[in-house]
Chain A
Amino acid sequence: MKTTNNGVLREMTAQEITEYDATIAEAQKQTDAQTARQVARQAVLDKLGLTADEAAALFGN
């Protein structure tokens, strides 16, 4: 796994690989949480029988 530091391409250190893995894992967690919120929102809209456009007209978004 490689990184470019100030224009120089090199192999990542063990510490950098650990940081990379942690950063990507957190970003994925945030994306998953956002997806879960969208799914929950859609479930409520389905229950109410509203389309996304109708919900936006009612609630602003």
Chain B
Amino acid sequence: MGANASTAVPVYVSGQVLDAARLNLTNNGIPVFSGTATRDAAFGGSGEKTLAEGQFAYLEDTNSLQYYSGTSFVAASGSNLITSGSVTSGTTVSLDSIFSATYDNYYVIFSNIVQAGSTNVVQFRTGGVTNTTSNYSFARSYLDVSAMAFEAGSGGTTSIGLGSTTANVMNTWEMVISRPFATGETSGWFRQAAENTSIVSWFGFHLFKATTSFDGLIYTAGSTFTSASYAIYGLAN
């Protein structure tokens, strides 16, 4: 728990002595909590403020700013970082427990990717297990400084194929994923850019055509990473 973290949001009564300790409690501005449990426990109790619409809170565990809508705490900004990190080896990056009921839609970005291969593939996961069924579909187009091609879509595949990039040159891809956690179809779009002798870009959309709830994804490269950085954001409902 950080220096700003609160355990209560006080309310004062007429005639009460406001000593330093009590005033310090109100000096923090937006109250900071270690997580949702301490946040929820800080309101409504004896000597605590009654939770009401417009109350802000900052959560340390998710680095997120929230406000109370009158029925629940919701994200105060459009996007909220769920997790981020980087790798310097390995051939796959899997991220579990990143999708939840908190958000319907997600933004995923992998940047500064340098790998020894050319393949870039994404699949979804549930409970740490990769879904390898033939329910993925995607279509993509290709663009560089001298050519553009609309590629035929691929249906009934076991993964989402992003761009086919040149080995050992830096590339970046990003993806919007709609409703992966909901028990329904998952869809969205993606794009990838790679630096080569010229800039190369891929644009496409994806669909998982089965009613499956996912809580993670795996990014598979054609060969070993030299570097890659990632960040996953939940988009406020």
Are chains A and B native binding partners rather than an unrelated pairing?
A: yes
Residue of B nearest to A34 (CB): B151
Number of residues in B with C-beta < 8 Å to the partner?
Answer: 33
Query: Which of B94, B95, B164 sits near A31, CB closer than 8 Å?
Result: B164
With a CB–CB cut-off of 8 A, which chain B residues contact A6?
83, 94-97
B147 contacts chain A at the CB level, 8 A cutoff: yes
Instruction: Establish whether residues A24 and B94, one from each chain, have CB atoms under 8 Å apart when the complex forms.
Output: no
Q: Does B90 contact A (CB under 8 A)?
A: yes
Given contacts A3-B91, A3-B93, A9-B87, contact A27 B147 (CB under 8 A): no
Count of chain A residues with Cβ under 8 Å from any Cβ of B? 26
Q: What's the Cα separation between A36 and B122 when bound, in Å?
A: 23
A contacts with B: majority SS: helix
Tell me if B91 and A23 are in contact (CB < 8 A). Answer: no
A24 touches B89 (CB 8 A): no
Would you list which residues of chain B between 79 and 95 have a CB under 8 Å from chain A?
83, 85, 87, 89-95
Complex CA–CA separation, A4 to B151 (angstroms): 31
Judge if B20 is at the interface, Cβ distance under 8 Å.
no
Which residues of A, 11-56, contact B by the 8 Å Cβ criterion? 12, 16, 19-20, 22-24, 26-28, 30-31, 34, 37-38, 52, 56
A interface with B by C-beta (< 8 Å):
1-7, 9, 12, 16, 19-20, 22-24, 26-28, 30-31, 34, 37-38, 52, 56, 61
